[in-house]
Amino acid sequence: MLEACDEMGMLVMDELADCWYIHKTRYDYATHYDTWWREDLRAMVEKDYNHPSVVMYCLGNEVSETAQKRGIALTGRMAETLRAFDRSRPVVCSINIFFNLLSSLGLGVYSDKKAEKASKKKKHRAVGSEFINHVAGLFGGKAMKLGATLYGCDRKCREAYALVDVAGYNYGDLRYLRDIRRYPDRVIVGSETFCKDACSNIRMAQKYPAIIGDFVWTGIDYLGEAGLGAKEYADYAKNFARGFGWISSGCGRLDLTGKPLSEMDWLRVAYGLDTINIGVVPANSYGKPHSQSAWNMTNARRSWAWEGCDGRKTRVEVYADAHRIKLFLNGRLIGDQPGGKHCKTYFYIRYEPGELKACAYKKDGAMLGEATLRSAGERTMLSAEPESACVRADELCYVRYRYVDENNVLKPLARGRITLRVRGGKLLAFGHACPYNEDGYLHDYTDTYYGEALAIIQPREAMIRLSASSPYGDCETAVSVDA
Boundary of a domain, candidates 183, 198, 216: 216
Boundary of a domain, candidates 216, 250, 272: 216
Q: What was the pLDDT predicted at 127?
A: 66
Residue 306 inside a domain? The answer is yes
Residue 230 inside a domain? The answer is no
What's the CATH code of the domain at 137? 3.20.20.80
What backbone phi and psi angles, to 5 degrees, belong to 32?
-110, 0
Residue 473 inside a domain? The answer is yes
Residue 228 inside a domain? The answer is no
The rounded distance, in Å, linking the Cα atoms of 244 and 382 is 30
318-362 pLDDT, tens digit each: 999 999 999 999 999 999 999 998 999 999 999 999 999 999 999
Same-domain status, 271 and 199: no
Q: Which residue has the higher pLDDT, 428 or 240?
A: 428
Q: Indicate if the pLDDT at residue 184 is higher than 80.
A: yes
Boundary of a domain, candidates 374, 392, 417: 374
Same-domain status, 195 and 320: no
What is the number of domains present in the chain?
A: 3
Residue positions counted in the chain: 483
The rounded distance, in Å, linking the Cα atoms of 168 and 190 is 6
Same-domain status, 63 and 33: yes
Residue 308 inside a domain? The answer is yes
Burial 420-451 (b: 16+ CB within 10 A, else e): bebebbebebbbbbbbbbeeebeeeebbbbbb
Q: Are 108 and 102 in contact (CB under 8 A)?
A: yes
Q: Indicate if the pLDDT at residue 125 is higher than 70.
A: no
Question: What is Dmax (Cα atoms) for the chain?
Answer: 68
Same-domain status, 198 and 74: yes
Residue 454 inside a domain? The answer is yes
Q: What range defines the domain where residue 26 resides?
A: 2-216
Same-domain status, 92 and 125: yes
Peptide bond into 477 cis (omega under 30): no
Q: What was the pLDDT predicted at 483?
A: 81
Residue 229 inside a domain? The answer is no
Same-domain status, 266 and 303: yes
The rounded distance, in Å, linking the Cα atoms of 86 and 90 is 9
pLDDT band, very low/low/confident/very high, at 128 (cuts 50, 70, 90) = low
Same-domain status, 195 and 311: no
The overall average pLDDT reported for the chain is 94
What's the CATH code of the domain at 355? 2.60.40.10
Q: What was the pLDDT predicted at 122?
A: 64
Same-domain status, 88 and 165: yes
Closest by CA to 433, choosing from 305, 303, 299, 315, is 299
Q: How many helices (H) and strands (E) does the chain have?
A: 12, 22
Same-domain status, 367 and 435: no
Same-domain status, 472 and 370: no
Closest by CA to 400, choosing from 413, 381, 386, is 386
Same-domain status, 352 and 391: no
281-291 pLDDT, tens digit each: 999 999 999 99
Same-domain status, 361 and 413: no
